Chain A
Amino acid sequence: MKNKILRINNLVKNYNTMRGEINAIKEISFDVNEGEFLVIVGSSGCGKSTLLSILSDLETLTEGNILKNDSLKIGYMLQEDALLPWLTIYENAILGLKIKKIDTQENIDEVIRLLKLYNLYDFKDKYPKNLSGGMKQRVALIRTLAIKPDLLLLDEPFSALDYQSRLAVSDDVYKIIKKEKKTVIMVTHDLAEAISMADRIIVLSKRPATIKKIYDIKLEHKGTPINNRKDGKFSKYYDMIWRDLDVNI
């Protein structure tokens, strides 16, 4: 039996503005299983970032509820790397620990281990401008992992990268996440990226977001994202979900 670490019940989100109420999320319910890589796809502006912001308590919800253990630690990796240009790579990586005042020797050692493991240790005293987009993204991931989250929220983590580094970095990030055995909710509007990484995909409708369908992704040989793109079942999922997304060109 799978352990559930999070349950979302009938979540509704409205934004109040002077131009009127914007219904961003209509009604959404789903569970998150421990250790899974859950991907949420939906067209742009449908409410994906809103959902992650609510899960990490940066936005309040309008209706419904979220059931989770109080001890559940959530790490949020944003749409851009958001590294601070005036801090070194090392200082950026421990930023969360500093802010949360949990920069204990043990936690710092963990960051150093991660920097070494993911080939960033030699750059620890360099500044973000000296690193490639992919390396910066890995630093941002380590900054998020440093606070030892049980659940990782990834908001289109690769959207700022060009196509080639996007493939390579998503491979890297995927391996890191699997190795560190984290539960993930990732949102994206890139369908191929979703299928190549996900254990499960939730397809959202256009705004206001509702759940259109949920897919268990069962590839023939599940491997790393780049290899998964060559899987026999990849294009079958692609066609099915493409139809659900109902993209008007």
Chain B
Amino acid sequence: MSTSKEQIAYQRKYIRERLFVLASQLIIVSIMLFSWEYASNSGHLNKFIFSCPSEIIKTIIQMINNGDLYKHLFTTLNEIFLSFSLGLVMAFALAIIMYLNKIFMKIIDPFLTILNSLPKVAIGPMLIIWFGANAKSIVIMGILINLIVSTLTIYDGFQKIDDVKIKLFKSFRASKWQLMTKLIIPGATNSIISALKLNISMTLIGVIMGEFLVSKSGIGYLIIYGTQVFNLNLVLAGIVILLIISFILYIVVIFIEKIINR
């Protein structure tokens, strides 16, 4: 098969555009980092308050060398993993119960709406009193913040399944179990993935918030501790690590989405 001149030109133009966008992004980031570095080294910026890229990198390398990084990273990732997976399982189960039991749904609907609009941080201090100043409270915080949104997103996906398809299953005398496993759940894949994405970012917020409130280790703890001792290098190192974590989690979710939607 031969490719026409126009097609080649089109592809070239497309690739050029992509490269241009990528290059611009790299340039913007470099300019920002370099001017930040320059401004704090030349005294235009107060290094003590604003830190600078080289100091942040130094701090991170130091933490890698003395093993601190792994400890804090492990604490936070562990909390994220627990809140994420427990939250997702609970959301999934709740959504199924709500779907199968319309009366139950009607009863809890207003409670969900009210709870959903409540800023979950507000109950954080109370959680600490109930569950203690430990990782348990943080995980519960993470779950609380993602559970309702995830549940409603998944439920909404169930709800959107075409009536004609449900009628089709009924015409084959499908059992409730068959209806759920062969139609409702696979049909809601996109909503489940949306819930996954929401869940990941919400969990991250919940866990960091929890760590702000109680923890003795974790990335959130690093940031809070850094502010308390006025070590801005440490604070910004924590933020950079958080950025990296959320970027990796984002990539993982996109990867899962690719696999499911293949």
A78 touches B167 (CB 8 A): yes
- Nearest Cβ in chain B — how far from A101, in angstroms? 9
Q: Is the CB of A95 within 8 A of B171?
A: no
Q: Are B186 and A58 in contact (CB under 8 A)?
A: no
- With A99-B174, A100-B173, A147-B172 known as contacts, the answer to whether A58 contacts B183 (CB < 8 A) is no
Contact B172 A95 (CB under 8 A): yes
Q: Which of B164, B178, B189 is in CB contact (< 8 Å) with A99?
A: B178
B 165-179 contacts with A by CB, 8 A: 165, 167-174, 178
CA of A211 to CA of B169, assembled, Å: 30
A80/B172 contact (C-beta < 8 A), A86-B186, A86-B189 known: no
Residues from chain A with Cβ under 8 Å of B167 in the complex: 53, 58, 78, 82
Q: Are B174 and A80 in contact (CB under 8 A)?
A: no
Interface mask (A41-71 → B, CB under 8 Å = 1, otherwise 0): 0000000000001001010000000000000
Interface residues of A in 62-105 (CB under 8 A from B): 76, 78-80, 82, 84, 86, 95-96, 98-100
Complex contact B164–A80 (CB within 8 A): yes
B187 and A58: CB pair below 8 A?
A: no
With A99-B178, A99-B182 in contact, do A84 and B165 touch (Cβ < 8 Å)? yes
Chain A nearest CB, measured from B41 CB (Å) = 57
A95 surroundings in chain B (CB, below 8 A) = 172, 182
Q: How many residues of A contact B (CB 8 A)?
A: 16
Residue of B nearest to A96 (CB): B172
Which of chain B's residues has its CB closest to A52's CB? B171
Q: Please measure, in the bound complex, the distance between the C-alpha atom of A99 and the C-alpha atom of B162, giving whole angstroms.
A: 18
Specify which chain B residues have a CB less than 8 angstroms from the CB of A79 in the assembled complex.
Answer: 164
Compute how far the CA of A86 lies from the CA of B189 in the bound complex, rounded to whole angstroms.
10
Contact of B187 among A84, A99, A100 (CB under 8 A): A84
Q: How far is the CA of A43 from the CA of B174 in the complex (A)?
A: 31
For the complex, give the distance between the alpha carbons of A98 and B164 in Å: 19
Q: How far is the CA of A100 from the CA of B175 in the complex (A)?
A: 9
The docked-state distance in angstroms from the alpha carbon of A84 to that of B174 is 15
A78–B170 touching, CB < 8 Å: no
Q: How far is it, in angstroms, between the C-alpha of A86 and the C-alpha of B162 when the chains are bound?
A: 14
> Do residues A99 and B170 form an inter-chain contact, with CB atoms below 8 A?
no
Q: A147 vs B171: C-alpha distance in the bound complex, in angstroms? A: 11
In-complex Cβ contact of B170 among A58, A86, A100, A147 (8 A): A58
Chain A residues whose CB sits within 8 angstroms of the CB of B183 once the complex forms: 84
Which A residue's beta carbon lies closest to that of B162? A82
Q: Which residues of B contact A53 (CB under 8 A)?
A: 167
Chain B hits for A84, CB < 8 A: 165, 183, 186-187
Q: Are B164's CB and A78's CB within 8 A? A: yes
A66, chain B: closest CB distance, angstroms: 16
Q: Which B31-71 residues sit within 8 Å CB-CB of chain A?
A: none
Chain A residues near B168 (CB-CB < 8 A) = 76, 78, 82
Within 93-125 of A, Cβ neighbours of B (below 8 Å) are at: 95-96, 98-100
Which of B's residues lie within 8 Å of A, judged by CB?
A: 162, 164-165, 167-174, 178, 182-183, 186-187, 189
What are 14 A-B contacts defined by CB distance under 8 Å? A53-B167, A58-B170, A78-B167, A78-B171, A79-B164, A80-B162, A80-B164, A82-B164, A82-B168, A95-B172, A99-B174, A99-B178, A99-B182, A147-B172
A-B CB proximity, top 8 nearest: A76-B171, A99-B172, A82-B168, A82-B164, A96-B172, A99-B174, A82-B165, A80-B164
